Structure 1
Amino acid sequence: MKAVLCRDFAPYSGLQVEEVDDPVAGEGMVIIDVKAAGVNFPDILLVEGKYQMKPPLPFIPGGECAGVISDVGPGVKGFKPGDRVIAATMLNAFAEKTAAHVSAIAPMPASMPFEEGAALITTYATTIHALKQRGELKAGETLLVLGAGGGVGTAAVQLGKAMGATVIAAARGAEKLAAAREAGADMTIDYDAEDLKARCKDLTGGKGIDVVYDAVGGPYSEPAMRAMGWGGRFLVIGFAAGDIPKMPLNLALLNSRDIRGVFWGAWAARDPKGNGANMAELFALYEQGKIKPMVSHTFALEDVTKAFDALMNREVRGKAVLVTG
């Protein structure tokens, strides 16, 4: 089969598609004929050796996919060849076929296209865990989403609205803000052209933000923290801006604010039942039309470096996916 193969931790520009052996369905595993695979910033970090874990070389990158089961291994119950599924793989999704444990797959709604299925897992599963378990977002509260035009950002806007929050979307430039409005944002802030803290205070009538969803980091985290009101919860999702901010801890003391880390993958491994409930809720919200993964770019498997370029150049609105056929 064809697969993107990472042979060395190096700039992603060196990635190539190669012929590799087909995966085999081991105990509790299924083989998925991949139709689409989601492209995420952590994929780039893994390829370049900058992620918190370094897989053994060589490896196939790609943390999520959607496709059709073609084989099942011993001990598999509840799934059969021909089933349409999505899978959280961490690795091995950028290929024509991948093996996944049954605990990492879920049946796709019949109405869901493969491209949307491939764009759902990482961003929406991370975000529902962030807003629900970590942020404890309540109906009527105000949610500030940083990086609101990207994959996790548009997911946070949609889920925040579905949970009954007033959503303020902050992003860079008119195109990203348009994507956030399309996702359902109530208000928007261009944080390259406006004072983030002042605008948040203004838009909340001086009360401040209840929950901050920060997948960006860099220079935007501290003003967002300063814009929070009493008992606010600051969710640390990631650092797409590149720099990890050094937050003055007196900002947590003032107004009794919390800083809460979000690591969905580790939590899901510790609480598979809770993660399963979250996934069921996501599928229900999709069927109700309350969430819909936004896919602005599709690329062939052979164009993986172009997909990463689009992500790094901030051209993607929502998500980019690789397709195999």
Structure 2
Amino acid sequence: MADIAQKRDVLGLEALITEMKKPARPQVDAGKGQKKQRHKTDVKPGAQHWMRDAPLGSFAQAGLGIMLLVTGLRHGCSLAHPMVLSNPFLIPAGSDFAELRNVKNTQPPAAPTGTNIVSLQQDRKPVVEFWYEFASTYSYLSAMRIETLASDYGVTIAWKPFLLGPIFKKQGWPTSPFNLFPAKGRYMWRDMERLCERYGLPLTMPMPFPQDSLLAARIAHAGQNQPWIGAFTRAVYIAEFGQGLDIAEESLMAELLLETSAPAKKVLEAAHSRETKISLRAAVAEAEKLGIFGAPSFVLPDGELYWGDDRLEQALEAARNMVATDV
């Protein structure tokens, strides 16, 4: 009997659907044989707007939707039934079917619960520490590219300017190894020519090399958490390796600070302060504890160290993958 009732209901619905597909017949005034015109005064004032704009078939479709829903529930149908899917009135905007009918989900986002903690963790960006020395040629290449690449990889950069001189001295090097070993130095400058051409960066060998980077490092260290740190760092490198200017000159540093919308006077005062000098020395000690021996270096949240501009993308990729494996 249940099968017969279900068949009867389905046949009745199909007949109703067929009837709805027929073109609507115009209403005719029996006295004059003319089409009856609809006026705004035919409906209540409060209902004029939505009734005027709504298609006549909408009300019939809504009624059909209710009938379909009742029929489906009575016979154990789900919302995935083909007849239900074909009726937009039965598909909630917040359901998985909303996309099927191109309905924008206007429901407010659900409050954080225990069921979506994983998705919240996935939105957290890993932080990669970028340790760089202003006198370092390869740090120049990384500094000019790292912000764009970090954005592509979904990684946040922590700017860590420091000094390599004290670390070199502990290894018995009074200056850059590129000066101590001429063949290595010649190769480095040729390699820089190739890489700068590849990246579209200017290259001019500054004199002397390496440059005195103490003032630039103090300025960057004092402003490492400021919004202008990236722009200032790139400006210093362009002045040094792009134009061959002396980055030890305070007037040049003041000019670059102003160009990058930094409060030059305040920053220079902070760079010369005792607190900044002590803090920069502490940063060098921290770099040594992390195992840093050259620049650029990249340190991941778990302490994993990557050295060299040619390891930049690899470090960012590893940091991104850490978040995926963490959750």
| TM-score under structure 2 length normalisation | 0.20
Say which structure is richer in helix: 2
Larger radius of gyration: 2
Say which structure is richer in strand: 1
| TM-score under structure 1 length normalisation | 0.20
